């Protein structure tokens, strides 16, 4: 049993100054103010004075890091997960972009086999399959040769039990509505992205079961006051959550602030869309076999198109606060409770709640990651 005390705790409902948290095994047993929650006699006491104790971060879209690309080699998922903790990430969706069916099956098998013995890294909570059912006109960094129409023989086998948690597709494609309905019934979170959908087509997709938008503003038509399109539909429908890459490059800070004023904390999900260059020096990398040039702040194909990002989820949290002037309490929801709610796993992770997993991050006063706990165990990321 562990007793963490004198930290500032951020729960779904409140900010607890001079707080204390008790965990046993992998579960949170109790929380409250330290003077009301004394240390159990059989607990190890750890002073967290000056730090904020917050839920572990969840990244719903990450393509790789530390020189490794999940689509090129799904076997790297655990090696990357072992090091993501340095950014406060305790759970993530390894993202497989448009690729042959064999690549997706390979990634499913990697998750089915599970992490290697002794693994103490971030928890892979299913795959995010971004593509191949995308609109070729909005392929972005995806290889157009791998794009295809929704195939029932393929997607009918995609569900939580087969380790697929999210699928991004273009709702206007022939057969997409049937795919959305099937995937939703299978418990998969369906997202609209890389799409030319009109406002009406987007609404039809929402009615069929879409509940998320992949990287708002990117790989979709610009917002137009006559033809609001997918962007307008995502912003307008209060059932939808929108993913956003707030690196200051994919979305201008002013547009991020404008979207925030509409979506607020309960409908915003920050993602990195990070590629193999995350945590590495500026040079050339691979994204699903395509050459990506990294200049230190952005990642682009040779023709200049953006190809994912090179920033981390803890930086996304700090950026959101700088761009919108929101509070830490609000910003935290976008990397914890909101993604957990989207995946219907908020009763196990995503919040500091009694009974939930003891996954949490310690933040310094300048909101840098000072420590990470997963399943009640202190984690030291490789290389730190």
- Are 68 and 382 a contacting pair, CB within 8 Å? no
Catalytic residue (choose from 59, 69, 273, 346):
273
**C-alpha span between 140 and 307 (Å, rounded):** 7
CA distances from 160 to 157, 209, 367 (A): 10, 16, 34
Please name every residue paired with 191 in a beta bridge, in sequence order, or none if there are none.
168, 212
Which of 40, 58, 21, 5 minimizes the C-alpha distance to 348? 58
**C-alpha span between 63 and 168 (Å, rounded):** 14
Helix, strand, or coil (residue 156)? coil
- Are 205 and 234 a contacting pair, CB within 8 Å? no
**C-alpha span between 272 and 244 (Å, rounded):** 8
Helix, strand, or coil (residue 70)? coil
Tokens of 308: 């994912």
Tally of CB atoms within 10 A around 254: 9
**C-alpha span between 172 and 205 (Å, rounded):** 8
Q: Is residue 273 flagged as an active site residue?
A: yes
| Residues labelled catalytic | 273
């Amino acid at each position: 049993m562990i007793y963490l005390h004198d930290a500032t705790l951020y729960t779904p409902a409140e900010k607890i100054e001079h707080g204390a948290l008790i965990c046993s095994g992998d579960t949170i047993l109790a929380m409250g103010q330290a003077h009301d929650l004394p240390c159990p006699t059989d607990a190890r006491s750890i002073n967290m004075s000056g730090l904020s104790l917050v839920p572990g971060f969840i990244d719903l879209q990450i393509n790789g890091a530390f020189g490794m690309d999940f689509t090129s080699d799904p076997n790297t998922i655990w090696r990357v997960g072992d090091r993501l903790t340095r950014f406060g990430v305790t759970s993530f969706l390894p993202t497989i972009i448009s690729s042959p069916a064999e690549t997706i099956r390979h990634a499913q098998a990697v998750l089915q086999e599970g992490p290697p013995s002794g693994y103490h890294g971030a928890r892979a909570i299913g795959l995010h399959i971004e593509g191949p059912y995308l609109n070729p006109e909005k392929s972005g960094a995806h290889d157009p040769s791998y794009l295809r129409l929704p195939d029932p023989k393929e997607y009918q086998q995609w569900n939580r039990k087969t380790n697929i948690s999210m699928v991004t597709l273009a709702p206007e494609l022939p057969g997409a509505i049937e795919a959305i309905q099937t995937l939703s019934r299978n418990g998969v979170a369906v997202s609209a992205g890389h799409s030319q959908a009109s406002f009406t087509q987007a609404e039809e997709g929402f009615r069929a079961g879409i509940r998320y938008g992949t990287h708002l503003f990117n790989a979709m038509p610009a917002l137009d006051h006559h033809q609001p399109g997918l962007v307008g539909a995502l912003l307008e429908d209060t059932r939808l959550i929108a993913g956003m890459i707030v690196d200051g490059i994919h979305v201008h800070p002013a547009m991020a602030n404008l979207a925030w004023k509409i979506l607020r904390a309960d409908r915003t999900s920050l993602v990195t869309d990070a590629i193999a260059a995350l945590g590495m020096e500026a040079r050339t990398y691979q994204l699903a076999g395509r050459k990506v040039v990294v200049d230190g702040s952005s990642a682009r194909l040779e023709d200049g198109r953006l190809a994912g990002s090179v920033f981390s989820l803890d930086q996304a949290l700090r950026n959101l606060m700088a761009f919108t002037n929101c509070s830490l309490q609000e910003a935290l929801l976008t990397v914890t409770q909101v993604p957990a709610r989207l995946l219907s796993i908020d009763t196990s992770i995503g919040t500091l709640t009694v009974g939930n997993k003891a996954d949490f991050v310690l933040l310094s006063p300048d909101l840098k990651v000072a420590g990470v706990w997963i399943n009640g165990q202190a984690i030291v990321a490789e290389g730190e």
